[in-house]
Structure 1
């Protein structure tokens, strides 16, 4: 008698209009290989470009010597074979490929007629807020990406003052 009750109940449940056959669901996704971590010494840097006189910029387009800075990456996985770097910040009004000199809020006069130029490891210009650097090859483990900065005059006359700028960087991995 117990068998009949269970089978009857099961048969009634299957014939009920709210009971449907199971649908076929497909789930997709990707497991990404580990990329890299930005070393804490690279995340917030202060880079001294030096002290210069307005006479060091005799014509528009004059530049100072380049100063190297590095972005250190650690614990890169085997899946990260390369990285591009994008630099962003306020663009110079006279040359939008350069980083603008920014007011530090100290009340000191700001230099005018110059911006900061970003260069890749071959010392070729990289525009601010642009398409980014060429791809830097990465190996598993720790990697160092070299870049350079320099002042570049944007006007025929450069005036003395604070020449501080702020930029940010973003990485994409290949």
Structure 2
């Protein structure tokens, strides 16, 4: 009896299957391997940027920024012979009120977020590419940025400040 059920089951599967059609498809993959990449220096792979202790008085309204901005440096080394520059993009969890800024972790201060600034103290919005750093033929590139707090909404409340941003490179 079990043999008969198997045969009937196989026959039913054959009745309800859709015919399969084959096509000739060619996938052509092309590219160019270049040697302009660099190695991230060990001290740039993971950094902690201390923002110090900042008073609430500095954040009287949305858009107000702390008077303390902390510099940090990202370094690329051993750049290839065709290196012509690099652009940086910072990503992270965007603040709910101002998506250009990095959101502070839950359970900490509220009404503020972290700004990332370029070497000229100009805001670098999250997920936006910077101008190019470095020049053709450079063997290494040191890039200075700043982090500071900015009020995103009222009220601002005291608490710990912790935020994480990731940086990626795009070579010229």
Residue in structure 1 matched with residue 32 of structure 2 by the alignment: 30
Residue in structure 1 matched with residue 15 of structure 2 by the alignment: none
Residue in structure 2 matched with residue 118 of structure 1 by the alignment: 116
Residues in 2 aligned to 1:31 and 1:133: alpha-carbon distance in whole angstroms: 24
What is the CA-CA distance between 1:59 and the residue it aligns to?
A: 1.7
What is the CA-CA distance between 1:147 and the residue it aligns to?
A: 0.8
Confirm whether residue 86 of structure 1 aligns to residue 89 of structure 2.
Answer: yes
RMSD over aligned CA atoms reads 1.8
Write the deviation string for residues 98-142 of structure 1: whole angstroms up to 9, x where unpaired: 000013xxxxx410000000111111111112x211111234222
What is the CA-CA distance between 1:157 and the residue it aligns to?
A: 2.0
The normalised TM-score by structure 1 is: 0.76
Q: Which runs of 5+ in 2 are unaligned?
A: 1-28
Alignment of 1:68-83 (within 5 A): 68-83=71-86
What is the CA-CA distance between 1:28 and the residue it aligns to?
A: 6.2
- Structure showing greater Rg: 1
The normalised TM-score by structure 2 is: 0.77
Structure 1 ranges of 4+ moved more than 6 A: none
**Change in CA separation of 1:142 and 1:62 when aligned onto 2, cut-off 3 Å:** same
Q: For this pair of structures, how many residues does the alignment match? A: 143
Residues in 2 aligned to 1:44 and 1:30: alpha-carbon distance in whole angstroms: 30
